[in-house]
Amino acid sequence: MSVVDDPKTFGRARLSFASVADIDEFVATLEKYERGELTPEQWRAFRLVRGTYGQRQAEDAQMLRIKIPQGVLTADQLDALADVAERHSRGFGHITTRQNVQFHFVKLHDVEPAMRRLAETGLTTREACGNSVRNITGCPYAGVSADERFDVSPYAEGLTRFLLRHPLSSTLPRKFKIAFEGCATDHVMIGINDLGFRAQLGPDGGRGFRVTAGGGTSIMVTNAGVLHDFLPASEILRVAEAVLRVFKRFGDYEHKQRNRMKFMIKQLGWTRWREEYDRELTACRLRGDVPTLDIDPPASESVPAWPKEESPSVGRIASRVTAGRVSGPGLTPQVVPVFQSGDDAYARWRSTNVRPQKQFGYVSATATVPLGDLTSEQMRVLGELARAYGDGSVRVTIDQDLLFRWIDSSNARQLYRRLAAAGLGLADAATIADVVSCPGAESCRLAVTQSRGLGRLLEDHLRARPDLIAAADGAHIKISGCPNGCGQHHIATIGFQGSVRRLGSRAVPQYFVMVGGGVSEQGAAFARLAAKVPARRIIDALERLIALYVREREVEESAPAFFARVDLSRVKIELADLERLQPGDAVPADFVDLGEADEFAPVVMDGECSA
């Protein structure tokens, strides 16, 4: 199922990742399950590897996860996603922190037509969930960044294709995450991945990677260790195969809470694990059953040389996104078209959302997507804008935004006006106002709190207070509804982890307030727990943290640097009174989670993350 010959690929064609056989197998296996020929556990293990995850709702409600390899999403694929959202979900989709797109409240028998529509444009759900090699993430600036060593996208795609449907890829003890970065700044959080590839140039100028392994967050935060200071690029398939072989052989298949690769490495010890890895790598090389990756792509992308399509008008875009229909349950996107965008608004957007490419005269521009939610009509508009102003594609970022590339700098304002008309013209991308959140208890079986409710509250508050955004220089907020860290709160400047507090016989939603996480050339540094604050007091907690930074920072010290080095006791003192909550102090709102109307009654179910 090739999409190469489609003229709408605008010269950025890729072979399909989809397989009709996968979908046919899904249908046949579902029929076996419904006839009673498979147990619920057998069916669950199968459907998870096909990207279908049961939600907490008792009725027929599935989450369907679509892999977006390296975050590259064509205009045609945006159209397909829009159709799936409209026909089979709530009229919108959700961008994840691993460059996936998810749809919630999908009926089980709607999964097949959704898969077939996605496959028409080369998209797959294969190994998007379950104990498998998950979506391989890649730097969204790869190919156009001024400070990259080389474009890592072809190498990431090569490894994606090698591992997709690989015999090892869906028979692992637990999920396995891989990331590629080529820039001086880490845009994909290499250090929290099971396997990370950071572009390097050898003494002779040859391409290679600094390879790290064993990273992760959740209940045992771990910074990945260095496996190779320099690995020739041609060897990445063999390295991945060898690591996976060791994981399959020594990994824990019994204990769900201890079966990520980082636990295996800890149990074996780095030295013993490294010995086993070296043995498998040697076998891969000597037997010849794992090939080298013999490609020689250009160091960066070529300039688009094809005619652009005509852009839809501002008025037409606004009317379309306004007419688009979304539905619950749960929080739905708030689409607010802006018809007239002034000079000041454009200047602010350009200063925060636009960066020059290495190719003269071109820029990349971020469409900020609140909570990572896009309606069907917004997806279609984005595809049309990519064809009219970019190279016919966008890149999904781990901040749950979308990046347009190859924008002629003279067209940046026209693109901005149309993004604003689509309700996606918010400035302050990659600032404290660009809040990242997991789906939370709205749909996830493991989540305690409604993390999206907190995310919306914080974004709305911060965007109404530009002084706070300006004050919190370089800070990032990330939210997870449970300890697992799908919102990546462990590596946030200010992270929030959902939890519950008992007040007599009643429950109060609260958040662990964590400070000082981030990534650097040395890998990941993890946030420290500073307080446990009721959900309704988080705004006060945030304002106090920003004020503490403003008062006590050193000259030209960024917020991430400040919170990484500040004495934790100082932060605890600042938040101590917000932690205290006695029965006589509580007000009715304290017992209602953010984004909800009914009294908080947390139910943590048996999750499917490690089924």
Q: Can you spell out the DSSP letters for 577-593?
A: HHH---TTT--GGGGB-
Is residue 179 pLDDT above 90, yes or no? yes
Stretch 154-171: mean pLDDT, rounded?
97
pLDDT band at 83 (very low <50, low <70, confident <90, very high): very high
CA torsion 198→199→201→205, rounded to 10°? 160
* Confidence check: pLDDT of 2 > 50: no
Q: Are 300 and 152 in contact (CB under 8 A)?
A: no
The yes-or-no verdict on residue 328 having pLDDT over 50 is: yes
Cut 0.85: pTM above it? yes
Domain ranges of the chain: 7-119, 149-287, 314-421, 436-591
Burial 48-74 (b: 16+ CB within 10 A, else e): bbbbbbbbbeeeebbbbbbbbbbbbbb
pLDDT at 603: 84
Task: Calculate the CA dihedral of residues 101, 106, 112, 117 and round it to 10 degrees.
Answer: -50
Q: Does the pLDDT at position 6 exceed 60?
A: no
CA distances, 577 to each of 46, 112, 550 (Å): 49, 52, 20
Q: Are 107 and 62 spatial neighbours (Cβ–Cβ below 8 Å)?
A: yes
| pLDDT value for 305 | 85
Mean pLDDT over 510-518 rounds to 98
Across the range 181-194, mean pLDDT stands at 97
The SS3 call for residue 524 is strand
Average pLDDT, the chain: 95
* Nearest residue to 160 via CA among 84, 237, 96: 237
314-421 matches 149-287 in CATH topology: no
Query: What is the pLDDT, as a whole number, of residue 239?
Result: 98
CATH of the domain spanning 314-421: 3.90.480.20
The arithmetic mean of pLDDT across residues 253-273, rounded, is 94
Among candidate residues 465, 428, 432, the one with its CA nearest the CA of residue 354 = 428
521 confidence band (pLDDT: 50, 70, 90): confident
With H, G, I as helix, E, B as strand and everything else as coil, classify residue 298. coil
pLDDT of residue 464 exceeding 80 = yes
CATH 3.90.480.20 fits 7-119, yes or no: yes
User: In this structure, what token pair is assigned to residue 326?
Assistant: 């979304």
**343: CB partners within 8 A, 6+ apart:** none
pLDDT at 109: 97
Rounded mean pLDDT, 364-378: 98
The tens digit of pLDDT for each residue in 282-311 reads 999 999 899 999 999 998 899 988 889 999
Q: Which amino acid does the sequence have at 252?
A: D
Architecture of the domain delimited by 149-287: 2-Layer Sandwich (3.30)
| Rounded CA separation 181/137 (Å) | 9
605/112: higher pLDDT? 112
Mean pLDDT in residue range 472-488:
95
Domain at 436-591: CATH code? 3.30.413.10
Out of 37-46, 249-258, 469-478, 573-582, least confident range:
249-258
Which of residues 46 and 610 earns the better pLDDT score? 46
Phi, psi of 386 (to 5 degrees): -65, -35
